[in-house]
Structure 1
Amino acid sequence: MGEEYLQQFLDETTFYNSIVLGNLLPTKLWEPLPHFLQTWLRNYSAGTLLYFVSGFLWCFYIYYLKRNVYVPKDAIPTNKAMLLQIYVAMKAMPWYCALPTLSEYMVENGWTKCFATISEVGWLPYVIYLSIYLVVVEFGIYWMHRELHDIKPLYKYLHATHHIYNKQNTLSPFAGLAFHPLDGILQAVPHVIALFIVPTHFTSHIGLLFLEAIWTANIHDCIHANLWPVMGAGYHTIHHTTYRHNYGHYTIWMDWMLGTLRDPVDDEGKKVM
């Protein structure tokens, strides 16, 4: 890639930096910083804001506006449990934001297969590439998550931090990012690896990384939407109680193919019987 082409990526990230930081901080605080640090600060600010806004709105809706509709009263986590989840997530957030900052740096320097605009490839190839990207991400996250359970030191020193939330009344949308920092980064790494394998629209990549914050909030709310083949909260709640099922991220396909799927509808049927 030529310098003129790569400048498009740099202009795009500079624009995002100015939009986010320009609305949150005085210019004199962030504009003198090197571009890499500006990008990290933007990711940190936007990630933190997204975590709190999505988490509070989600909890307010399901625990207060719809109390006893989606989640039984005795399954609502305590404020203490949710505050602990927020504390763990906030300790890790600065480290989480290093990954998208690094991926943007690699794109800006032409190290990946990213392209700048959809018009370069057309809508049909864009959709095909995006589908392949999501398959690579799903495959990578499944195996990364599974190995974080199967490799004992990884579980003990990293993933166990997240699995203290192992019952319905300890899980909440705020638990979605309550990981050991390295654990959270490892599970997001497939998003970055995919950039070296599949031609990827840069803006879509950034959007999907931030969608993670909303998606992880969703799969920790314990509400089973039963929308096949989506890996909804009903499946993920089982993962937190059995530790050996439903490792997938967006879909149940990898678990289905590899024999680790456990269906919440089947579980409910066994309880009734």
Structure 2
Amino acid sequence: MEDQLRLFVEETSWYNDLVLGAMLPEKWWAPLPHFYRGWLRNYIGGTLLYMVSGILWCFYIYYLKRNVYLPKDAIPTRKAMLLQIKVAMKAMPWYCALPTISEYMIEHGWTKCFPRISDVGFAQYLSYICVYLIIVEFGIYWMHRELHDIKPLYKYLHATHHIYNKQNTLSPFAGLAFHPLDGILQAVPHVVALFLVPMHFTAHIALLFLEALWTANIHDCIHGQVWPVMGAGYHTIHHTTYRHNYGHYTIWMDWMFGTLRDPLEDDAKKI
């Protein structure tokens, strides 16, 4: 057990050295305790991922491919995108507390995480990831749905995100434009799953940060039509009806619990 915990600490320390060493003078971060180094690394990494992916994504779909993926009247204004960036950046320091706390719990042996794939074998590794993702999908669906159904939660938390309720107000930058507590609550299932199923540590960290890319994807209003993926077409409907398509990666939870609305069927009705 001690050897496993040491491997977790070594891995997070390597991440810290890699990111902080590349971005900041060592004298600024070397005196910090390990926990705060982790938070600072997560903050820098999360901010870079959000800004770089958002800028490249928007440049491609709104400028290089202007009027190819979206009609001109569906492209958000710069003002709308800057507002989304402002909301996301105010929340980013708080968002980064969650992966930092999850790393702390993992490093202290409170979860079922394991450090190496060889600890369980590749087949078990894949099966654990599948179970982990099912738990995450279920948890995010119900967390998201309750943020709508419980009126105070919607009014004081989730409504911050739902001011973006039309195609021409949604953009990849809206993906993290939440009240800080709202964003954290919707990511909590990733951490809860660590106590329920064995999970590879590196895969957990990667999936947490891939959330930023995924949420950018489902807010770009471009329907990819890849079953059973909960793509942007489904999520755009969520922003316009408020009562459908609460799911995260797939449509399965909405299908199971009766809240699925298909964008292709909606388009067919309009013709």
> Do both share a fold (TM > 0.5)?
yes
Match for residue 103 of structure 1? 102
What RMSD in Å do the two structures reach over aligned CA positions? 0.4
Q: CA deviation at 1:57?
A: 0.5
Cα displacement string for residues 49-106 of structure 1 (whole angstroms, at most 9, x for unaligned residues): 0000100000000000000000101110000000000000000000000000000000
1:72 aligns with 2:77: no
Match for residue 84 of structure 1? 83
Cα displacement string for residues 214-234 of structure 1 (whole angstroms, at most 9, x for unaligned residues): 000000000001100000000
| Mapped partners of 1:165, 1:64: distance in 2 | 21
Match for residue 184 of structure 1? 183
Q: How does 1:160-239 map to 2 (within 5 A)?
A: 160-239=159-238
Q: How does 1:124-143 map to 2 (within 5 A)?
A: 124-143=123-142
| Mapped partners of 2:99, 2:197: distance in 1 | 17
| Mapped partners of 2:86, 2:31: distance in 1 | 30
| Mapped partners of 1:109, 1:239: distance in 2 | 39
Match for residue 34 of structure 1? 33
- For the Cα contact (< 8 Å) 2:4–2:114, is it kept in 1? no
Match for residue 60 of structure 1? 59
Matched AA of 2:111: T
Identity %: 79
Matched AA of 2:19: V
| Mapped partners of 1:189, 1:259: distance in 2 | 24
| Mapped partners of 2:82, 2:254: distance in 1 | 32
Unaligned residue ranges in structure 1 (runs of 5+): none
| Mapped partners of 2:34, 2:103: distance in 1 | 11
1:46 aligns with 2:45: yes
- TM value normalised by structure 1: 0.99
- TM value normalised by structure 2: 1.00
Q: Say which SS state the counterpart of residue 250 (structure 1) adopts.
A: coil
Q: CA deviation at 1:271?
A: 0.8
Figure out how many residues of one structure are paired with residues of the other and give that number: 271
1:154 aligns with 2:168: no
Cα displacement string for residues 232-260 of structure 1 (whole angstroms, at most 9, x for unaligned residues): 00000000000000000000000001110
Q: Say which SS state the counterpart of residue 46 (structure 1) adopts.
A: helix
Cα displacement string for residues 183-234 of structure 1 (whole angstroms, at most 9, x for unaligned residues): 0000000000000000000000000000000000000000001100000000
Q: CA deviation at 1:4?
A: 2.5
- For the Cα contact (< 8 Å) 2:175–2:219, is it kept in 1? yes
| Mapped partners of 1:199, 1:213: distance in 2 | 23
Q: Say which SS state the counterpart of residue 261 (structure 1) adopts.
A: coil
- For the Cα contact (< 8 Å) 2:254–2:260, is it kept in 1? yes
Matched AA of 1:20: V
Matched AA of 1:109: H
Q: CA deviation at 1:5?
A: 2.1
Unaligned residue ranges in structure 2 (runs of 5+): none
Q: CA deviation at 1:6?
A: 0.6
Matched AA of 1:191: H
Match for residue 123 of structure 1? 122
Cα displacement string for residues 104-141 of structure 1 (whole angstroms, at most 9, x for unaligned residues): 00000000000000011111000000000000000000
Matched AA of 2:25: P
